[in-house]
């Protein structure tokens, strides 16, 4: 599932640098010409210098236009951001015109084909495997990308869909640490080498190495197990950076679908770090710069000193969804017949003031309108307005809708023996802005509530393991001593635990004592009116991301499987409303959990 925004790095301080403005960057190399002092004496030539830029996007998540399919309206947020490659394309063309077409490379750091209703439509409703072209391939080909790294979400719809997308792209999808499970050879190109022409001088050779996220082995286990493996970024960079230098690359540029702070969301499930770009920069010599992705933050310019060489490695992350464009500007100098980097800066640019590229609008407006029509399809009605605004601190009916669908589906698929076990459900409040209105219920209403393409599992946990699971979830809350007022604005997201990581449970009753210390917050855990015992066995309905170890919950990844399906939970929810005709919270709204302070209810 997509990674929610992470807080500012706490292991290093970002180094903000003033980067040169795009239009001010020199676009041609120059040769200094000395004036002859005498007929028989000429001063030495000044060194030949040249400038070029690498532009970078990341985590586009199939945002083509500045549009919110969940709201069926132009995208807007409190910070005035725009989304979509259509606006970014205009910014890129401005950079090319200012600096020269031959002085600009364009790279992406992954997570391209999942994340919007448009992405889902061309993966499942009218899939690209049936011959249609993916809108992101059309847009990125038009924008003339030179390379893109594989993101973890590239694997969400299966390798067949990814391979079809790869064939539609006129640029390579790079993944030096995406290996064939049997041969341990790269399943995708590890790198590409681009040449920047310099009149009267050797070409500047730029090696672009792509690295993806080891967490794919957990998050998309069902799609990649036995077919692909994903070793660490540092390990593979140590192998391929020297190779690029041996090929004569003057500049080595990495595009990493991996964040900056050295953290991992999957605990000790894997030996490889999830957010390892800073570690790559520090531990692998020979890298000039890194385009960072995965964590959905804006990092205009950030430097890391390589431990072996002492050289500064320049990094930049351009947020996500097309919010920003990273611009790396390089100055190189010809020295003994080889180009050497003598200057580099990075910045991020905001596309919210430019118009959408008219050619992308022409190419993809019909696809966009097709998806708009699809998401506005009514599938039933709802008897009351269901809001997720308080779902992160209250048990609300809209979350019970998810639990109801998960529980019903798993129950219908259990063996006779497992059907005798108590069945519960766990799910996360993915979106606080989700709302299913009274009256007609459309696909976009449900898609706005369940925004990820997760499938469904039933896994077995004991009562003791379930308590551990809920205690782990409860670290989501900051500790608020008894008698202290609770402010919902500061209550949640403790420990960098984001909303998509926080599971609530339905089918058991329990209290979360936010006055207690972490690890001892779950109180009065009962099932069917009786206290849950340590050896009691439950079937837990849970999405595949969590079932395979996503977010590092204890016990669940190794738990026995009672049920599994390739059907996406979102589609199961759509099917539920379609079959019933009416969505009525009275059918499933049961209070299962509540926040307390030393036994006193908070709300």
What's the pLDDT tens digit per position in 470-483? 999 999 999 999 99
What tokens were used for 286? Answer: 């020979």
Q: What is the pLDDT of residues 158-178, one digit of tens each?
A: 999 999 999 999 999 999 999
Please report which confidence band the pLDDT of residue 19 belongs to, taking 50, 70 and 90 as the band edges.
very low
pLDDT at residue 178 in the model: 98
Cβ atoms 230, 561 nearer than 8 A: no
| b/e burial code for range 125-156 (CB count within 10 A of at least 16 → b) | eebbeeeebbbbbbbbebbbbbbbbbbbbbbb
Q: The pTM is what?
A: 0.90
Q: What's the rounded Cα separation, in Å, for the pair 2 and 62? A: 12
What tokens were used for 41? Answer: 């004496």
Name which of 65, 64, 81, 139 is nearest 106 in CA terms: 139
pLDDT at residue 223 in the model: 97
pLDDT at residue 296 in the model: 98
Q: What's the rounded Cα separation, in Å, for the pair 207 and 245? A: 8
Token pair 């970002």 is found at: 14
For the cut 70, the answer to whether the pLDDT of residue 41 exceeds it is no
Angle at 357 between CA 351 and CA 362, to 5 degrees: 150
pLDDT at residue 477 in the model: 98
Name which of 88, 86, 90 is nearest 64 in CA terms: 86
Using CA atoms, how far residue 580 sits from 379, 408, 487, 488, 568, in Å, is: 10, 13, 38, 35, 19
pLDDT at residue 47 in the model: 53
Name which of 439, 313, 401 is nearest 585 in CA terms: 401
Angle at 276 between CA 165 and CA 162, to 5 degrees: 10
pLDDT at residue 36 in the model: 38
For the cut 70, the answer to whether the pLDDT of residue 203 exceeds it is yes
Q: What is the pLDDT of residues 396-447, one digit of tens each?
A: 999 999 999 999 999 999 999 999 999 999 999 999 999 999 999 999 999 9
pLDDT at residue 45 in the model: 56
Q: What's the rounded Cα separation, in Å, for the pair 125 and 69? A: 15
For the cut 70, the answer to whether the pLDDT of residue 76 exceeds it is yes
What tokens were used for 575? Answer: 């099917």
Name which of 238, 229, 222 is nearest 270 in CA terms: 229
For the cut 80, the answer to whether the pLDDT of residue 39 exceeds it is no
Distance of CA 374 to the CA centre of its chain: 25
Q: What is the pLDDT of residues 323-369, one digit of tens each?
A: 999 999 999 999 999 999 999 999 999 999 999 999 999 999 999 99
Would you say the C-alpha torsion 148, 352, 434, 579 has a positive or negative sign?
Answer: negative
Q: What values do phi and psi take at 439, rounded to 5?
A: 105, -145
For the cut 60, the answer to whether the pLDDT of residue 456 exceeds it is yes
Q: What's the rounded Cα separation, in Å, for the pair 545 and 114? A: 15
pLDDT at residue 42 in the model: 57
Q: What's the rounded Cα separation, in Å, for the pair 22 and 97? A: 10
**Could you tell me what percentage of the chain is helix, strand and coil, using 3-state DSSP and rounding each to the nearest 5?**
30, 25, 45
In terms of C-beta density within 10 A (0-12 exposed, 13-18 middle, 19 or more buried), how is residue 413 classed?
Answer: middle
The H-assigned helical ranges of 201-305 are: 216-219, 221-224, 233-246, 277-283
In terms of C-beta density within 10 A (0-12 exposed, 13-18 middle, 19 or more buried), how is residue 197 classed?
Answer: exposed
pLDDT at residue 43 in the model: 54
In this prediction, what percent of the chain has a pLDDT beyond 70?
92
What average pLDDT score do residues 276-281 get?
98
Q: What is the pLDDT of residues 520-573, one digit of tens each?
A: 999 999 999 999 999 999 999 999 999 999 999 999 999 999 999 999 999 999
What tokens were used for 243? Answer: 């190779």
Sheet order of strands, 191-196 included: 191-196, 204-211, 251-256, 289-292, 312-318, 298-305
What average pLDDT score do residues 451-457 get?
97
E strands, 350-454, in order? 378-382, 386-387, 423-427, 435-436, 439-442
Q: What's the rounded Cα separation, in Å, for the pair 502 and 472? A: 9
Which residues, at least 6 apart from 326, have a Cβ–Cβ distance to it below 8 Å?
55, 56, 57, 58, 291, 300, 316, 317, 318, 346, 347, 348
Which residues, at least 6 apart from 23, have a Cβ–Cβ distance to it below 8 Å?
94, 98
Q: What is the pLDDT of residues 212-249, one digit of tens each?
A: 999 999 999 999 999 999 999 999 999 999 999 999 99
Please report which confidence band the pLDDT of residue 267 belongs to, taking 50, 70 and 90 as the band edges.
confident
pLDDT at residue 7 in the model: 39
Q: What's the rounded Cα separation, in Å, for the pair 181 and 188? A: 12
Range in 19-28, 467-476, 579-588 the model is least confident about: 19-28
Q: What's the rounded Cα separation, in Å, for the pair 45 and 47? A: 6
Which residues, at least 6 apart from 525, have a Cβ–Cβ distance to it below 8 Å?
463, 466, 467, 470, 508, 509, 510, 531, 532
For the cut 70, the answer to whether the pLDDT of residue 380 exceeds it is yes
For the cut 60, the answer to whether the pLDDT of residue 15 exceeds it is no
What tokens were used for 142? Answer: 């038009």
In this prediction, what percent of the chain has a pLDDT beyond 90?
91
Would you say the C-alpha torsion 90, 91, 97, 102 has a positive or negative sign?
Answer: negative
Using CA atoms, how far residue 322 sits from 66, 120, 317, in Å, is: 9, 18, 11
pLDDT at residue 543 in the model: 98
SS (H, E, C) 404-431: HHHHHHHHHHCCHHHHCCCEEEEECCCC
Query: CB 352: neighbour CB atoms within 10 A?
Result: 17
């Amino acid at each position: 599932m997509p990674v929610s925004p992470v807080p500012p790095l706490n292991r290093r301080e970002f180094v903000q640098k003033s980067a040169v403005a795009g239009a001010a960057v020199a676009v041609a190399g120059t040769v200094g010409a000395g004036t002859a002092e005498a007929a028989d004496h000429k001063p030495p030539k000044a060194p030949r210098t040249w400038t070029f830029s690498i532009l970078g996007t990341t985590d586009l998540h199939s945002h083509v236009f500045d549009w919110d399919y969940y709201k069926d309206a132009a995208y807007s947020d409190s910070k005035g951001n725009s989304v979509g490659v259509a606006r970014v394309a205009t910014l890129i063309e401005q950079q090319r015109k200012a600096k020269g077409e031959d002085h600009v490379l364009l790279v992406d750091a992954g997570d391209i084909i999942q994340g919007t209703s448009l992405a889902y439509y061309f993966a499942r409703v009218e899939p690209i495997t049936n011959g249609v072209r993916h809108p992101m391939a059309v847009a990125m080909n038009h924008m003339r990308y030179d390379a893109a790294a594989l993101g973890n979400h590239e694997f969400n719809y299966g390798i067949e869909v990814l391979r079809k997308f790869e064939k539609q792209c006129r640029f390579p999808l790079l993944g030096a640490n995406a290996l064939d499970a049997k041969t341990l050879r790269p399943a995708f190109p590890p790198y590409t080498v681009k040449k920047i022409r310099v009149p009267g001088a050797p070409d500047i050779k730029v090696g672009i190495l792509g690295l993806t996220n080891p967490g794919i082995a957990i998050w998309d286990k069902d799609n990649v197990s036995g077919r692909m493996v994903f070793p660490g970024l540092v390990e593979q960079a140590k192998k391929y950076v020297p190779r690029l230098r041996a090929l004569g690359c003057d500049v080595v540029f990495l595009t990493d679908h991996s964040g900056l702070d050295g953290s991992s969301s999957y605990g000790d499930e894997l030996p490889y770090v999830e957010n390892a770009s800073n570690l790559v920069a520090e531990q692998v010599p020979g890298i000039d710069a890194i385009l960072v992705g995965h964590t959905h933050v804006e990092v205009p310019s950030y430097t890391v000193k390589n431990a072996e060489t002492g050289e500064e490695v320049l990094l930049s992350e351009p947020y996500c969804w097309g919010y920003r464009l990273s611009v790396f500007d390089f100055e190189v100098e010809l020295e003994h017949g080889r180009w050497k980097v003598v200057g580099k800066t990075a910045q991020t640019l905001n596309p919210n003031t430019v118009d959408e590229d008219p050619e992308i609008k022409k190419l993809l407006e019909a696809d966009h309108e097709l998806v708009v029509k699809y998401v506005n399809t009514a599938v039933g009605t709802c008897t009351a307005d269901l809001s997720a605004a308080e779902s992160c601190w209250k048990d609300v009916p809209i979350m019970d809708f998810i639990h109801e669908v998960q529980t019903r589906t798993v129950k219908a698929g259990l063996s006779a023996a497992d059907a005798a076990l108590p069945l519960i459900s766990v799910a996360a409040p993915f979106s606080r802005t989700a709302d299913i209105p009274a009256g007609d219920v459309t696909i976009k209403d449900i898609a706005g509530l369940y925004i990820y393409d997760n499938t469904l599992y039933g896994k077995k946990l004991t009562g003791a393991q379930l308590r551990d699971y809920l205690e782990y979830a409860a670290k989501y809350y900051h500790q608020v001593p008894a008698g202290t007022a609770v402010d919902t604005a500061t209550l949640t997201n403790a420990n960098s635990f984001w909303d998509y990581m926080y599971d609530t449970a339905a089918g058991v009753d329990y209290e979360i004592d936010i006055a207690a210390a972490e690890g001892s917050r779950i109180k009065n855990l009962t099932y069917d009116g009786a206290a849950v015992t340590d050896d009691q066995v439950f079937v837990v309905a849970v999405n595949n991301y969590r079932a395979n170890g996503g977010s590092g919950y204890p016990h669940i990844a190794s738990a026995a499987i009672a049920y599994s399906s390739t059907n996406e939970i979102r589609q199961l929810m759509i099917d539920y409303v379609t079959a019933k005709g009416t969505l009525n919270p009275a059918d499933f709204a049961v209070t299962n959990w509540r926040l307390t302070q030393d036994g006193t209810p908070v709300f």
